[in-house]
Amino acid sequence: MDRSRRQRTALQIDPSTAAGAAIDPGPGPGQAAPRHLEIRLQPRSRRDAVVGERDGAVLIALQAAPVDGAANAGLVRFLAERLNRPRASVTLVRGATSRTKWIALDGLTVAEARHQLLAPLQASPADGERRQGP
């Protein structure tokens, strides 16, 4: 088995879309909800964390470098841990060499996943604000 095939298998990349098949990323008027979670990745960060949103995508910072699929593997691991799902249920659908990734999640809707990832950010006070005591 050649290296690229092993890498696709290890990273859970959907082979039907890896060749660049077009997928509709979001709902338009009269369309169903999106099927894939859009992620904007910031590799080589100080820590692994959900940072916020950018242009409708969930912004995630990872320590892993974008070399030999390390950032993609780190993203799959991070999402599986954060969403309390097995790694096999997190599949990189599109964006293996891009900072913008589309992720398919088995057993979880895109809206539920976005809520689980972004809810802790909304609950904490904004930068510069102080928490008031009792």
Q: DSSP letter at 19? A: T
Per-residue model confidence as pLDDT tens digits over 90-134 = 999 999 999 999 999 999 999 999 999 999 888 766 555 544 444
Q: Are 92 and 100 in contact (CB under 8 A)?
A: no
Helix or strand (DSSP H, E) at 15: helix 15-18
Q: Give the C-alpha distances (Å, rounded to integers) separating 120 from 30, 59, 76, 114.
A: 31, 14, 19, 11
How confident is the model at residue 78, as a pLDDT? 97
In a domain, 44, yes or no: yes
d(CA 53, CA 114): 10
In a domain, 94, yes or no: yes
| Residue 28, token pair as written in the block | 């338009």
In a domain, 47, yes or no: yes
How confident is the model at residue 92, as a pLDDT? 96
The model's pTM is: 0.69
In a domain, 1, yes or no: no
- Structurally, the chain folds into a number of domains equal to 1
In a domain, 22, yes or no: no
d(CA 94, CA 115): 22
Per-residue model confidence as pLDDT tens digits over 15-72 = 554 444 444 444 555 555 678 999 999 999 999 999 999 999 999 999 999 999 999 9
In a domain, 55, yes or no: yes
CATH number at residue 63: 3.30.1200.10
Q: Is 84 exposed, middle or buried (0-12, 13-18, 19+ CB in 10 A)?
A: exposed
| Residue 70, token pair as written in the block | 């390390």
In a domain, 106, yes or no: yes
Q: Which domain holds residue 81?
A: 35-123
Q: Give the C-alpha distances (Å, rounded to integers) separating 98 from 81, 83, 88, 95, 102.
A: 22, 22, 21, 5, 10
The answer, yes or no, to whether residue 1 has pLDDT greater than 60, is no
In a domain, 101, yes or no: yes
Residue 124 CA from chain centroid, whole number: 21
